[in-house]
Amino acid sequence: MSAWKLFFIYLKVGAFTFGGGYAMIPVFERELVMKHHVIKPESFYDTLVICQSLPGAIAVNFAAFTGYKLRGYTGAFASVLGVILPSFAMILLVAVFLFRFVEEPLFEAFFKGVRLSVVALMFLAGWKMFKRHRSGFGLFIIAITLSMLLGFSAHPIIVVVFAGVFGYTSLTVKAVVNHDASR
């Protein structure tokens, strides 16, 4: 698969997938696994796990990883550029042509309504994730991070670092304790 081909595949997915990075994943699967057969199904999911474990937008990470695997650094560059370009162009168009009317009363009224759907969509996304973390450990971390953010307006970076360190430490301690107990 040439770098050009990669570029166009990612450009297509980038241009026609609405609703953020996660919406792109099934489309990537259809294109790369089922249609072009360049990635095996099992390595598709391994790649997904790796991309989710690293910071950054999952769609961009995925493009970089698969692009590199298939065609080296050129492939990675072509894939990332392809996946970014449509959203970059669209947002510029919106910002240039649409947002100059933002002070108009009718426009402002429109966005007063739209903001409420953002609340609804984000709440439902958070709720869906919440349901997957109802263990004592998960609830504990959710409670602590929420109170850090809302109660003490802690910096999100501090919250992320805290959660990572806490997860690592508690699992390491648990592993040591279990190891001792089994002896």
Judged by CB under 8 A, the chain residues 9 through 28 that form the site for another protein are 14-22, 24
- Compute the distance between CA of residue 18 and CA of residue 81 in angstroms, rounded to an integer: 18
The reply to whether 74 sits near another protein by the rule CB under 8 A is no
| 110 touches another protein by CB under 8 A | yes
Q: Cα separations (Å) of 3 from 34, 43, 64, 77, 122?
A: 19, 20, 12, 9, 36
- Does position 116 bind another protein by CB under 8 A? yes
Which span (1-9, 28-36, 52-60) binds another protein, by CB under 8 A?
A: 52-60
> In whole angstroms, how close is the CB of 175 to another protein at the nearest point?
9
Residue range at the interface with another protein (CB under 8 A); choices 2-10, 33-41, 149-157: 149-157
State yes or no: residue 86 binds another protein (CB under 8 A). Answer: yes
Q: Is 18 left (phi over 0), alpha (psi -120 to 50) or beta?
A: beta
Smallest separation (angstroms) from another protein to the CB of 36: 19
Cα–Cα distance between 149 and 131 in angstroms, integer?
A: 20
Name which of 2 and 147 has its Cβ closer to another protein: 147
Is 53 among the residues that bind another protein (CB under 8 A)? yes
Q: Is 181 one of the binding residues for another protein (CB under 8 A)?
A: no
> Any idea which residue has 């598709």 for tokens?
44
For residue 107, count other CB atoms closer than 10 A to its CB.
Answer: 14
The window from 1-9, 30-38, 170-178 that contacts another protein (CB under 8 A) reads 170-178
Query: Which helix (H) or strand (E) covers residue 158, if one does?
Result: helix 156-181
* Sign of the dihedral through C-alpha 99, 101, 106, 109: positive
For another protein, the closer of residues 8 and 110 by Cβ is 110
What is the C-alpha to C-alpha distance for residues 51 and 145, in angstroms, rounded to an integer? 23
Q: In the set 3, 65, 78, 82, which binds another protein (CB under 8 A)? A: 65
Q: Tell whether residue 73 is a contact of another protein (CB under 8 A).
A: yes
